[in-house]
């Protein structure tokens, strides 16, 4: 009996030993799953940081030498990549050849469970390559920006106009990184509501205005212009004295008390002085008035063409020049000077007529956008909280060029996406 008990005890000990031996591979497998999961998570974040670094550094001025590119890139990556316990970032390499930047980074992670089977560390790596453009294309961009009264409302605790100003300035700063030659990047700014404004001193005595009382109105004119008549409202065709409908229609004075900044024609971003003046236009924007998106769009196209009143743009289809227009609005079309009525004034009497007026304005907006696309201008549209999504999507060159901004801080990110698309900045590998 004693022999049997001893045998049973021996048998239990052997079973425990066998289980312990069998558990080692099981523990290793579980440990591998846990540690590989940690490593995969960190590698994913590391890759995002490498991609972000490549996209940022590829836009740095061409005057930076290899050492400066390395320093800026390494600092950007380390600031972007959040530290992880028991993980050490190792070598970081950032190089630029032509218009391509390559970023590679290595890290080491201490294992949590795999050390039980003798594996104490795991290597982690990430590599990214970004390119922009072809290095030879010139860029012309029109920023068509809503300055209507609703821009005084708030988005996430911040005034819409303040959100726009910050994002537009950041966009200009990004475009300036590409301006390595005087004419490599040009930007125009078209603030609009139901009017746009020209520099009265520069254009007062031009022959292509349709004055009601030239002797009285021309000297008092402050630069405000409204829609042209007939089909010219959605055309960039140059004005001619033989066709009065083709002439631009000046307002002796604005409908609103606040001033609208004058349109800034295509301006090189190479010169710091010109860059500062573009920022000054943005600083001068303030909410006022109702909305006529078509007017803003057709004047945006005007700044990109060689037809009067602006002749700074390259001819449509010029080899090596790409043209873009970014139209931002925070609301529906509400007033057109063509019929002299606003949505609110009509809606008080007849809602159906008011909606019909807006439908006509939307159709006019689409015609203005189509005129830009026919002139080989790529159109981006941005809806800031409110507006006609269907119309703005159709206005854009394609559905991917339409953006719906609903949160504070999102506009700058949308403008960065548009910048990357325009500049050709992309992750290539």
Supply the pLDDT for residue 211.
Answer: 93
Q: How far apart are the first and last CA of the chain?
A: 75
User: Is 428 a residue whose pLDDT tops 80?
Assistant: no
What does the alpha-carbon distance between residue 48 and residue 69 come to, in Å, rounded to a whole number? Answer: 19
Name the CA radius of gyration of the chain, rounded: 31
Per-residue model confidence as pLDDT tens digits over 143-167:
999 999 999 998 888 899 999 999 9
Supply the pLDDT for residue 300.
Answer: 98
User: Is 10 a residue whose pLDDT tops 50?
Assistant: no
Q: Which two tokens stand for residue 206?
A: 């031009």
For the entire predicted model, the pTM comes to: 0.76
Helices 66-80/2-57 angle, 10° precision: 130
User: Is 349 a residue whose pLDDT tops 50?
Assistant: no
DSSP structure string for 267-278: EESSSHHHHHHH
User: Is 19 a residue whose pLDDT tops 60?
Assistant: no
- How many residues are there in the chain? 429
DSSP 37: H
Question: Of 3-12, 96-105, 123-132, where does mean pLDDT reach its minimum?
Answer: 3-12
100/344: higher pLDDT: 100
Supply the pLDDT for residue 99.
Answer: 82
User: Is 231 a residue whose pLDDT tops 70?
Assistant: yes
Average pLDDT of the residues in 183-193: 95
Q: Which two tokens stand for residue 422?
A: 């325009």
- H or E stretch including 341? strand 341-342
372/359: higher pLDDT: 372
User: Is 342 a residue whose pLDDT tops 90?
Assistant: no
Mean model confidence pLDDT for the chain: 86
Supply the pLDDT for residue 374.
Answer: 96
What does the alpha-carbon distance between residue 145 and residue 282 come to, in Å, rounded to a whole number? Answer: 9
Confidence of residue 35 (pLDDT cuts 50, 70, 90): confident
Contact 295, 229 (CB under 8 A): no
Supply the pLDDT for residue 29.
Answer: 57
CA neighbor of 88 nearest in space, from 78, 102, 73: 78
CA neighbor of 326 nearest in space, from 418, 230, 205: 418
Phi-psi region of 135 (alpha: psi -120 to 50; beta: other; left: phi over 0): left
Average pLDDT of the residues in 259-274: 94
User: Is 334 a residue whose pLDDT tops 70?
Assistant: yes
Kindly report the number of other CB atoms within 10 A of residue 421's CB atom: 15
Supply the pLDDT for residue 427.
Answer: 77
DSSP structure string for 310-377: ---SPPTT-TTEEEEEEEEESS---EETTTTEEHHHHHTT-HHHHHHHHHHHHHHHHHHHHHHHHTTE
| Neighbour-count burial of 34, counting CB atoms closer than 10 A to its CB (0-12 exposed, 13-18 middle, 19+ buried) | middle
Supply the pLDDT for residue 31.
Answer: 56
Average pLDDT of the residues in 72-78: 94
Average pLDDT of the residues in 31-52: 84
User: Is 25 a residue whose pLDDT tops 70?
Assistant: no
Confidence of residue 294 (pLDDT cuts 50, 70, 90): very high
CA neighbor of 164 nearest in space, from 189, 195, 199, 141: 189
Which residues, in sequence order, are CB contacts of 88 under 8 Å at separation 6+?
107, 108, 109
Supply the pLDDT for residue 340.
Answer: 52
CA 120 to chain centre: 45
Contact 195, 260 (CB under 8 A): yes
User: Is 392 a residue whose pLDDT tops 60?
Assistant: yes
Contact 109, 124 (CB under 8 A): yes
What does the alpha-carbon distance between residue 45 and residue 23 come to, in Å, rounded to a whole number? Answer: 33
Q: In degrees rounded to 5, what are phi and psi of residue 351? A: -60, -40
User: Is 15 a residue whose pLDDT tops 80?
Assistant: no
Kindly report the number of other CB atoms within 10 A of residue 218's CB atom: 15
Supply the pLDDT for residue 136.
Answer: 60
Sorted by where each begins, the domain ranges of the chain are 2-131, 138-427
Tokens 């078209």, residue? Answer: 190
Average pLDDT of the residues in 4-21: 39
What does the alpha-carbon distance between residue 233 and residue 225 come to, in Å, rounded to a whole number? Answer: 12
What does the alpha-carbon distance between residue 412 and residue 127 come to, in Å, rounded to a whole number? Answer: 26
> Which CATH topology does 138-427 take?
Rossmann fold (3.40.50)
Per-residue model confidence as pLDDT tens digits over 123-134:
999 999 988 765
Confidence of residue 37 (pLDDT cuts 50, 70, 90): confident
């Amino acid at each position: 009996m004693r022999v049997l008990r001893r045998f049973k005890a021996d048998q239990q000990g052997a079973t425990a030993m066998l289980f312990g031996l069998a558990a080692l591979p099981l523990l290793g497998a579980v440990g591998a799953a846990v540690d590989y999961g940690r490593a995969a998570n960190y590698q994913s974040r590391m890759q995002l940081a490498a991609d972000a670094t490549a996209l940022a550094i590829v836009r740095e001025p061409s005057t930076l030498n290899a050492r400066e590119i390395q320093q800026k890139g390494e600092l950007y990556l380390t600031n972007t990549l959040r530290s992880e316990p028991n993980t050490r970032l190792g070598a970081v390499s950032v190089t630029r050849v032509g218009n391509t930047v390559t970023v590679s980074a290595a890290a080491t992670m201490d294992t949590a469970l795999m050390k039980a089977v003798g594996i104490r560390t795991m290597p982690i790596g990430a590599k990214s390559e970004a390119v922009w453009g072809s290095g030879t294309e010139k860029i012309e961009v029109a920023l068509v920006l809503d300055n209507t009264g609703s821009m005084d409302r708030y988005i996430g605790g911040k005034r819409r106009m303040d959100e726009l100003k910050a994002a537009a300035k950041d966009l200009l700063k990004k475009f300036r990184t590409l301006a390595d030659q005087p004419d490599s990047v040009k930007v125009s700014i078209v603030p609009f509501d139901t009017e746009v404004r020209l520099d009265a001193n520069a254009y007062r005595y031009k022959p292509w205005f349709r004055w009601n009382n030239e002797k009285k109105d021309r000297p008092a004119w402050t630069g405000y212009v409204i829609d042209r008549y007939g089909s010219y409202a959605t055309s960039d065709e140059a004005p001619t004295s033989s066709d009065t409908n083709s002439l631009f229609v000046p307002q002796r004075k604005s409908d609103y008390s606040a001033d609208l900044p004058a349109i800034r024609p295509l301006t090189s971003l190479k010169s710091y002085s010109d860059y500062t003046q573009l920022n000054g236009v943005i600083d001068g924007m303030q909410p006022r008035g109702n909305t006529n998106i078509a007017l803003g769009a057709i004047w945006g196209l005007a700044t990109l063409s060689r037809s009067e009143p602006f002749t700074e743009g390259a001819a449509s289809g010029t080899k090596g020049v790409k043209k873009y227009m970014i139209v931002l609005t925070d609301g529906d079309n509400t007033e057109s000077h063509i019929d002299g009525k606003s949505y609110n004034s009509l809606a008080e009497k007849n809602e159906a007529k008011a909606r019909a007026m807006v439908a006509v304005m939307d159709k006019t907006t689409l015609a203005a956008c189509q005129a830009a696309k026919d002139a080989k201008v790529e159109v981006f549209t941005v809806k800031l909280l409110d507006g006609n999504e269907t119309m703005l999507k159709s206005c854009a060159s394609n559905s991917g060029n339409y953006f719906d901004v609903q949160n504070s801080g999102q506009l700058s990110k949308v403008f960065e996406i548009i910048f990357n698309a325009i500049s050709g900045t992309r992750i290539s590998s």
